[in-house]
Amino acid sequence: MERSNQLILALGLVGLLAVLGGQARLLRLRRALGLEQLLAGGFLFLPLGMVLSEAGLGLLDRHIVRSLDALVTLGLGVLGLLLGLRMEPGRISAAHQRLRTAAAVETLTTLVLVAGPLYYALTEMGACGPDDALGAAALLGCVAAISSGHVFRAASAEAGGTENDVGEVADAGTVLAVVAAGVLIAAFSPVKGLGPLERVLAVFAIGSVGGLSAWLLASETEEDSLRTALLLGVVLVTAGTAAHLALPPVATTLMAGMVLANLPGTLGVELRRSLAFLEPPLTVLLTVIAGASLRVPTWVTAGLLVTFLLLRTAGKILGGRLASAVTGAVPQGLGLGLLPSSAVAVGLALDFHLQLPEPLVEVVLVVAVLGSLLSETAGLWTTRLLARAAASLPGSNGAVAPAPTPAPADAPPGGAA
């Protein structure tokens, strides 16, 4: 079969399954089993990618996966942009500063707790040099630090609460992890003529130029579809420039999103709303591609995967306790709500694993992708526990730890915005 036809058929099937995953009876079944996020997340599409892969039906062989490069870069770019757009200035208040501090503490704890032992394990295996082992371990640390704020928000809403603090911590922690991964990937990337510091600066510079361009273009455009077209163009240019320079597209467009969100006006919020519809299909695409890129893990890789999962869980729980102790703005059980991972983790792994030497390529991809998926699965129950506990707190209106939020100047008496 011609490759382009293979590709179109595979993507069509993926899309059909994606939407059929939302079928009403299936949704009810998933809700009854407490598995709302599972089928929408990775459990359906990762195995689907494996089935469609070269080793399976052969519809998504390595040539096809390579020819999807532009779509994958677009997917990574849009995810990064949407993440960056959440960092709008309206959310930088004293309470949010504390939540961000909590996120920094938790992220750093998880990163160090995962990367340290994995670095030791990888160097002990002797499959690569210490530099490569450091890069791989640090990337896995960043992947481990990523959490899904959406899962907690959904669980909180289901439990009848209005709590968003854990979600905020998850988002901020993910931003930090992506920035850390961006710095790491930039430092490792083989760009000719640029030193490590220049490469790191290039990530921020390209992202800033992209964000500014998007703002300039979107601020003069009212028509929604034209604005979407222009934004997608900017994402493709920004992420494509980064990818062409072997720099991370996710971190670059995250920077662009942050710049865009913090420029004058409410454009950031509007753009986040108008681009949100792209997130589900692109997440599905990235998950399927990740599935198609996976190989059957060896025993050693499986051992590393188990280690990763245990370390990540420990890092989240310990990090949550530390964050609670340091800031007093989050509950001690914060880590339970941060266990679910997100598609950004899969995207980071997809983005970086090819820059590693051959023995580490498979290891990092399997550990990162399957680790994120299994974390998401386990995290669904822990998140629900935390959300229910939060919702049942008397007088808190579901807030886990009501932080002293200063009312805006124009807020009515007794009511925070």
Partner 1 sequence: MRRTVALVLTVSLVVFARAVGSGAPTRFATMALGFLLIVASLAGEAGEHVGLPRLTLHLLVGLLAGPDVLSLVTPEMTKQLQLVNGLAVALIGFGAGMELDIPALARTWRPLARHCGTLLGVVFLGLLALSLAASPFIPLTASMPWRERAAVALVVAAVMSTFSPAVVMAVLSETGARGPLASRVLALVVVGDLGVVVLFTLATTGAHLLAGDAAHPLAASAHVLWELVGSVAVGLGAGAAVYLYRRLVDRQSALMVAAVCLVLAEVGSRLGLSALISCITAGLVVRAASPDMASAMHHLLERVRLPVLVIFFAAAGASFHLDALVALWPAALGVALARAGLILAANRVSAGASGLTPEVARRVPAGLISQAGVTLGLAVIVGREFPGWGASLQVLFVAVISAHELVGPVLFRRALTASGELPPREGWDAPAAGPAPVTAAAP
Question: Measured from the CB of residue 76, what is the shortest distance to partner 1 in angstroms?
Answer: 10
By CB under 8 A, is residue 51 in contact with partner 1? no
- Per-residue binding string, partner 1, 144-183, x by CB under 8 A, is ----------------------------------------
Buried b or exposed e, range 301-311, using 16+ CB within 10 angstroms: beebbebbbeb
Question: Which two three-digit tokens encode residue 78?
Answer: 């849009």
CB of residue 61 to partner 1, shortest distance in Å:
16
Exactly one of 93, 101, 221, 262 binds partner 1 (CB under 8 A); that residue is 221
User: In degrees to the nearest 10, what's the CA dihedral of 149, 151, 154, 156?
Assistant: -70
**Contact partners, residue 299, CB within 8 Å, separation at least 6:** none
Continuous H helices in 126-266: 130-145, 149-158, 165-188, 196-219, 224-244, 249-262
Is residue 235 within the footprint of partner 1 (CB under 8 A)? yes
CB of 95 closer than 8 Å to CB of 404? yes
Among positions 261-280, residues that touch partner 1 (CB under 8 A) are 274, 277, 280
| CB nearer partner 1, residue 26 or residue 416 | 26
Nearer CB in complex with partner 1: 70/296: 70
- Closest separation between CB of residue 106 and partner 1, Å? 33
306 binds partner 1 (CB under 8 A): no
Give, as ranges, the residues between 196 and 215 that touch partner 1 (CB under 8 A): 206, 209-210, 212-214
Among 58, 90, 233, 406, binds partner 1 (CB under 8 A): 233
Residue 53: φ, ψ to 5°: -70, 180
Q: Tokens for 22?
A: 């939302």
- Cα 375–377–382 angle (5° rounding)? 85
Backbone φ and ψ for 60, nearest 5 degrees, come out as: -115, 70
Q: Using the minimum distance from each CB to partner 1, give the nearer residue, 235 or 289.
A: 235
What single letter denotes the amino acid at residue 39? L
Nearest Cα to Cα of residue 147 among 177, 102, 104: 177
Residue 9 or 269: which CB sits closer to partner 1? 9
Minimum CB separation of residue 20 from partner 1 in Å reads: 8
Which spans of this chain sit near partner 1 (rule: CB under 8 A)?
1, 4-5, 7-9, 11-16, 18-19, 22-24, 66-67, 69-71, 73-74, 191-194, 206, 209-210, 212-214, 216-217, 219-226, 228-230, 232-241, 243-246, 274, 277, 280-281
